[in-house]
Structure formats: structure tokens, C-alpha cells
Amino acid sequence: MCDKVFLGPDIGFVNVLEYNDVDDSCEISMTELAEVCAQFFDECMAFLQSSEEVPPKCEPIFLGPDIGLANVFKYNDETGDCDLSITELGNVCRDFFEECMSFLESSEEVPPRCEPVFLGPDVGLVNVFTFNDATQDCQLSMQELAKVCTQFFNECMAFLESSVDLEPECEDVFLGPDIGFVNVFEYSDEDDTCNLSMAELAAVCSQFFNECLSFLESDHKEPECEAVFLGPDIGFANIFTYSDQDETCGG
């Protein structure tokens, strides 16, 4: 049963809400409200105008014939999405464990989401990044940003001007068919190069010791001296050798 609503001193408390079995909520009954409004039009208008916007609701999902439709999602105000509620799911799973397990196993993995960014008090938190499946990172969406910029141009300009360039990334290296491509290098701001990360390599080596040794042995190649041009008849030729003593190329 839904609670009565107070529509002012002239009307008092009246039943203008009806229960919805599908989503387990109380909704305004236009039939009941119309009967009241026929006698108290001004009070009805005041009630409708003062009513707050109904927050978005998540749809119930079907969890099998034994459970039926159940509300196991809750609305996330920050992201604007419906997230699985472990609390609500737990209430259902107490009585229907096997059906719950089937639901969880059949659920597709939720795609990665990009965090909203704060663009000032006038704009608030907005989603202006989209996830790139190819690079597995979040990239600025000019389409989403354009929507914001049409209303908040100055805030957009401040955001773009303050955005820091992303740190350069080091490429993955192939460590054999058993390991595949992995990140074992880290970027150094000091010399603007990619250096071997012993921490990352150690994480890989703990599982693939032999492959790591092969990689390290192949990585320690003797520095090569550049070829020199000896004229059109000869072209480029390697006539220098590397000296470990003074780390120079000599003839």
C-alpha cells in the first residue's frame, strides 16, 4: 500500500499514488489525481509544480522462473549508470543460490568506464572521456566535450589549457610464445628514454624464468659502430670496431 499525500489544508491527505508490482514502487495515479483536481485545481497545480523530479530507476531483470523479475541494480548519480547492488543480490541469493550463480556466470564482463572530470562549479562532473578498446585507455571525446562547450565555453577552454600531456608510453616487448607481449620498460623523464624496469621484469620472471634469461642474454648486445660512406663505388661500410675500454669506435 502506498502512503497518502498531503495536498494542502483544503484537501488534506489523499490517496493519489498506486502500487506498481513490476518495479515495487509507488507511482502517481492520474485517475485518482484527476478526481481531486476536479474540485481543487489550484492545490493540484501547486502539488505538481512542487514535486521533485523522479530520480532515474534501474529496470528489474529476470533471474529465472523461480525468482522472476528482481531489482538487483541501483542507480549511480555520478556516472549515470545502473550498477549491480551486491546487497540486493545477496537478499535474493539467500533463497535462490543456484539461480544467482547462473546469473553471475552468464553476465557479460562490464566494459571499462572512464572517470568523469570536474570542470568547475558551473559544470560539475561530466563524462568527456571515452574508453578505447584498441589502446585500452581513456581518450578525450571531442563530441562529448563539444556538448559541454556549447553552454560553458570559458570552462572548456580552462580545462583544455590546464590539461597535462600524457606521459609517453614505452612499447611492449615480445618475450616468446609462452609470455607474449609485456610491459617491462618504464619511461624516464630525465633522459627521455625507455629503461628496463627490474620490478616489472621480476614479476614476469617469477613465472617464466627461462624465457626471461633468453631475453636478458639477447638484450646485452655489443654496441655497433655506424657505417661510413666510402664513395659511390663502395657505399657504406663498417670499418670501425667498438672498444669496451673507452666506449668509443676506432679503426
pLDDT for 220 equals: 47
Give the pLDDT confidence of 132-165 residue by residue, as tens digits. Answer: 877 778 888 877 877 777 777 777 777 766 654 4
Give the pLDDT confidence of 33-68 residue by residue, as tens digits. Answer: 778 777 877 777 777 666 555 567 788 877 777 777
CA distance to 42, 145, 224, 227, per residue, from 245 (Å): 97, 57, 15, 21
The model's pTM is 0.25
Joined grid coordinates for residue 227: 657505417
Give the pLDDT confidence of 68-85 residue by residue, as tens digits. Answer: 788 888 888 777 788 878
Give the pLDDT confidence of 158-217 residue by residue, as tens digits. Answer: 776 665 444 567 777 777 777 777 788 887 777 778 888 877 877 777 777 777 777 666
DSSP state of 176: -
Percent of the chain clearing pLDDT 90 (strictly above): 0
Distance CA 163, CA 122 (A): 18
The mean per-residue pLDDT over the stretch 226-235 comes to 76
CA distance to 56, 156, 157, per residue, from 144 (Å): 21, 11, 14
Average pLDDT, the chain: 75
